[in-house]
A and B are shown apart, each in its own frame.
Chain A
Amino acid sequence: EAQVTQNPRYLITVTGKKLTVTCSQNMNHEYMSWYRQDPGLGLRQIYYSMNVEVTDKGDVPEGYKVSRKEKRNFPLILESPSPNQTSLYFCASSFRQNSGNTIYFGEGSWLTVV
């Protein structure tokens, strides 16, 4: 079954304690991305990757890091989480096609930083 898997799905952590949210896809997609979703703001892109070892900043990259060492994995790293990073996070992936491609989303990770 084609899927994007994120872990953990739910996490409460404390300010400053490094954490990683993993994302894995089994569809051999070149493109992967992280979004955060906040009330009234919609989905905002944090980082994206167009292929292995190729990453770039999205619209709200501050406070986050990513890596793309393998095609299937795209972890999101919060080196020193702060309460303003409390949000719902989605990982997404797609093929590198010019038109009509859909983007597949993971189920989301609820992160609370206290």
Chain B
Amino acid sequence: GQNIDQPTEMTATEGAIVQINCTYQTSGFNGLFWYQQHAGEAPTFLSYNVLDGLEEKGRFSSFLSRSKGYSYLLLKELQMKDSASYLCAVRETTDSWGKLQFGAGTQVVVTP
């Protein structure tokens, strides 16, 4: 099976930067996803990393180190609407291209 760990909750101030870490232990690896989920709503796709390095997309960036089993999601210039849960998910093999294993999520609270 897989083990995906991320902090339960983080609090930051509007305009600040927050980094959400995700570590994983899997028998295989074929990509890591980050999703944003507002309370009671469906997860929405933020980013995808399959190679080592940083992927930047506007205020959000995601980093992957496959050798360390580690990823982070960086949220810059935080806005109140960024208050949400952020889910790290790993796809284990090429055969399970649609099957994602999710972490429990990190609740980010943005304060004024």
Contact = CB atoms under 8 A, between A and B. Distances in A.
Interface of A: 31, 33, 35, 40-45, 48, 50, 58-59, 88, 90, 94, 96-103, 105-108
Contact of A108 (B42, B45, B48, B101): B42
Interface stretch (B13-21, B56-64, B70-78, B102-110): B102-110
Given A98-B94, A100-B48, A43 B43 contact: yes
A108 B38 CA distance: 12
Nearest to A99: B50
Contacts of A43: 43, 87, 89, 100, 102
B99 A58 contact: yes
27 contacts: A35-B102, A40-B104, A42-B103, A42-B104, A43-B43, A43-B89, A43-B102, A45-B100, A48-B99, A50-B98, A59-B101, A94-B98, A97-B97, A98-B97, A99-B50, A100-B31, A100-B50, A101-B97, A101-B98, A102-B48, A103-B33, A103-B45, A103-B100, A106-B42, A107-B42, A108-B40, A108-B42
B74 to A, nearest CB: 20
Contact of A45 (B48, B99, B103, B104): B99
B45 A102 contact: yes
